[in-house]
Structure 1
């Protein structure tokens, strides 16, 4: 059997197809990095975004292979061999299937090398499910291309399949009647992962998708091997069974979770010594990077009575209000293309900015203290006038400078108490009116 497979490798274009897919998959991941440097699950999810292109290449390659055999007369030659059609096509299916798996998983592995030093959190089963489903989609695509190329051995067949694959995300919702769960199931590149680093895919969904894709692959293999019309009709059975099994596992969509997250990835991992610095488990590889600037920011805020005593990563969405504790500093952590913290040299400034309170956390009906008050208090805390030009208009800038001068005219204890009151107002979204411009105590 191994000798037959080697012959198939030499006579077909499968090696070139595998190299093309491996190079394309790796290049797409490295040239269009968005989130995957945060961890392995995001890498697996982001790779699935490129499936329409990869599937298109696989289908076009399979169709081109089958069409070439038809044009060269090999099909007629094989038809005269006294062996069942199924035995004749198995070697071709095996070499194409193996090539697709190697190419897809190889691209994943090459990308993972970039983050192996910083991505310490890995749910192997969940990540493997996402990768295996993507590889199965490529296998089904290549086998389907072989089958369609055999049935329709025309020059236009291969490019038509590639174009249809790349256009599939645009029509997914329309084909499935706007059902999110069905679109995500039937189109492996559609609707994967939310806007957070903690996005995940439940094991139930990965199993359902693998069953569906395995059914497609089996149906494509039967269609490629079919010698007559009844056999071609039998090729519909595996995809139907796969879809039915997937629908049962997802309970008709009721078990589908939209934009799921991994709660274990959000769990905090903290330093052993004080002051305590914590980051999400997903980002535990950069805890050592974050600790020095976070502790420096805590030291600056220590000038205030009842200031924050610990710092932790802000793991919630940036687009909704958050109830920040007064003793906790929230770290706006972002991972760069190299797997390390973005703008690490500016992190201390980001943490102290806005008096150590996450900006834009207040609702529109309670905006908190005005910018002049906050900037004057921040400038006193930092011992610099850098914040005074950020209040906005000339009038607000002048007011910020006046409030700052008032603070500098007070003794350290009273000025710190007033700045702490402004910080509390920012935390509670109170107005903060009169906190800095009232006379000194006893004056």
Structure 2
């Protein structure tokens, strides 16, 4: 223990771990909107930032690995009765323990922010974080071995740059299963709130990182060319074992879904409002807004009676099942884990007249905007500032919608609602609605 404490005080272990912790936490808090939805988004964001942390751990290990060469004490230590493996054990423990602990602390630092709002904690989170910690241990130990093998001053910075390139390019390499095996950041790019990482992908990465860690140990503690050549054996065996474990199915590699996170959580009373389990914390805030939108649509015959969060996974080309009694909307989460873009909820429900777009049937945005704002009893406005992400729009679009809306306002309410209902019926029947408000 005394030797280990001394190693922690005098080696690069503590400094490297502190640097990794600072870099990881800073990267998270510079972009809180990417992970404020819950625990899995937080873990995926932390995993993505391994593109910075993994090369850092690799370079730190390489810097530490050349310590004996730098101090010119290699021959002196070789004359001691203690084996090199025993002498290197404190170094391995110090570097591995500190850097391995830094990663869960990064995730924990983010977790403090979302602990009061994250409604769903998947068990896969723990496993993914542990494998992320293992990947930093593997990087540090591999760096130690490479630093001893190539004890030049340029080795550590060269490995840092090389590490970034390797982590990035292996993540996007084809076939996908090979990227899943080789890159610690694979699968971290988020596309939807109920995304996860397939357990077999995590297992394959754990095997591969374990193999790299063992290779680093062999390079660090052995002598002679044959022993160093033997360090290639764990890499080959690890790659083979990981390749046997990793799935080949595109759904498991590209866009895996956590079915529990995707489940709907609904209000007990009607009109029913439902969100995915991962966003259950915003249900109370969303409900009155969603019901306001349903009330506006309720002026039409056969209007929808429920609002559901959109659960479609567009990445995999999933074909939605249309239910004319349900309006689906996107639920946006702000940086604090609450409901974002609240002013957009009612317009999103009403402006499409309660019919989801499938990209196949003709839709006239000007007509639908005029009809929707008639139901809302207010003059049409541009989508800029209303629709999240909309930054520009041709002014003529809204001007045309205002003209149609004013025409509706001049009609008796029953006649105006009849025309709006005809627009909705045309949309449901996949017909062009152009001209239906001006007949």
TM-score where L is the length of structure 1:
0.88
Question: In 2, distance between residues paired with 1:255 and 1:300?
Answer: 39
> Contact between 2:177 and 2:247, CA under 8 Å: does it hold in 1?
no
Q: Secondary structure at the match of 1:362?
A: coil
Match of 1:335 in 2: 333
Question: In 1, distance between residues paired with 2:395 and 2:277?
Answer: 42
Match of 2:390 in 1: none
Q: CA deviation at 1:244?
A: 1.7
> Contact between 1:193 and 1:200, CA under 8 Å: does it hold in 2?
no
Deviation larger for 421-430 or 45-54: 421-430
Question: In 2, distance between residues paired with 1:111 and 1:386?
Answer: 41
Match of 2:375 in 1: 381
Given the alignment of the two structures, is residue 11 of structure 1 paired with residue 7 of structure 2, yes or no?
no
Question: In 1, distance between residues paired with 2:248 and 2:314?
Answer: 33
Deviation larger for 287-296 or 100-109: 287-296
Match of 1:441 in 2: none
Match of 2:354 in 1: 356
- Aligned positions, number: 429
Match of 1:91 in 2: 90
Match of 1:290 in 2: 286
Match of 2:239 in 1: 243
Match of 1:144 in 2: 142
Q: Residue by residue, what CA displacement relative to the aligned partner does 1:311-360 show, whole Å, maximum 9, x if unpaired? A: 110122568785543221222211122212221233223322232344x5
Question: In 2, distance between residues paired with 1:133 and 1:286?
Answer: 31
Return 5+ residue gaps in structure 2 as ranges. 385-392
Deviation larger for 240-249 or 347-356: 347-356
Given the alignment of the two structures, is residue 31 of structure 1 paired with residue 17 of structure 2, yes or no?
no
Q: CA deviation at 1:36?
A: 1.7
Judged with a 3 Å threshold, the aligned counterparts in structure 2 of structure 1 residues 324 and 428 are, in CA distance, closer, same or farther, namely farther
Match of 1:67 in 2: 66
Q: Secondary structure at the match of 1:108?
A: helix
Given the alignment of the two structures, is residue 371 of structure 1 paired with residue 365 of structure 2, yes or no?
yes
Question: In 1, distance between residues paired with 2:382 and 2:239?
Answer: 62
Q: Secondary structure at the match of 1:57?
A: helix
Q: CA deviation at 1:402?
A: 5.6
Q: CA deviation at 1:179?
A: 1.6
Question: In 1, distance between residues paired with 2:343 and 2:267?
Answer: 20
Q: Secondary structure at the match of 2:346?
A: helix
Aligned-residue CA RMSD in angstroms?
Answer: 2.7
Deviation larger for 19-28 or 410-419: 410-419
Question: In 2, distance between residues paired with 1:232 and 1:34?
Answer: 46
Judged with a 3 Å threshold, the aligned counterparts in structure 2 of structure 1 residues 171 and 381 are, in CA distance, closer, same or farther, namely closer
From 228, 233, 248, give the equivalent of 1:232.
Answer: 228
Question: In 2, distance between residues paired with 1:281 and 1:362?
Answer: 28
Judged with a 3 Å threshold, the aligned counterparts in structure 2 of structure 1 residues 306 and 131 are, in CA distance, closer, same or farther, namely same
Q: CA deviation at 1:58?
A: 0.9
Q: Residue by residue, what CA displacement relative to the aligned partner does 1:210-269 show, whole Å, maximum 9, x if unpaired? A: 111111111211211112222222222222222121122236779953221222211111
Question: In 2, distance between residues paired with 1:69 and 1:162?
Answer: 21
> Contact between 1:38 and 1:119, CA under 8 Å: does it hold in 2?
yes
Question: In 2, distance between residues paired with 1:396 and 1:98?
Answer: 61
Question: In 2, distance between residues paired with 1:235 and 1:71?
Answer: 24
Given the alignment of the two structures, is residue 312 of structure 1 paired with residue 289 of structure 2, yes or no?
no
Q: CA deviation at 1:307?
A: 1.4
Q: Residue by residue, what CA displacement relative to the aligned partner does 1:156-208 show, whole Å, maximum 9, x if unpaired? A: 0000000101111454279x6x3211022111123534522222111112112
Q: CA deviation at 1:32?
A: 2.9
Structural mapping, 1:38-437, within 5 Å? 38-124=37-123, 126-172=124-170, 178-250=174-246, 257-317=253-313, 322-358=320-356, 361-363=358-360, 366-368=361-363, 370-387=364-381, 397=399, 400=401, 403-437=404-438
Judged with a 3 Å threshold, the aligned counterparts in structure 2 of structure 1 residues 437 and 285 are, in CA distance, closer, same or farther, namely same
Question: In 2, distance between residues paired with 1:256 and 1:415?
Answer: 50
Question: In 1, distance between residues paired with 2:354 and 2:235?
Answer: 56
Question: In 2, distance between residues paired with 1:248 and 1:165?
Answer: 25
Q: Secondary structure at the match of 1:86?
A: helix
Q: Secondary structure at the match of 1:81?
A: coil
Question: In 2, distance between residues paired with 1:165 and 1:230?
Answer: 26
Q: Secondary structure at the match of 1:63?
A: helix
Judged with a 3 Å threshold, the aligned counterparts in structure 2 of structure 1 residues 110 and 417 are, in CA distance, closer, same or farther, namely same
Q: Secondary structure at the match of 1:55?
A: helix
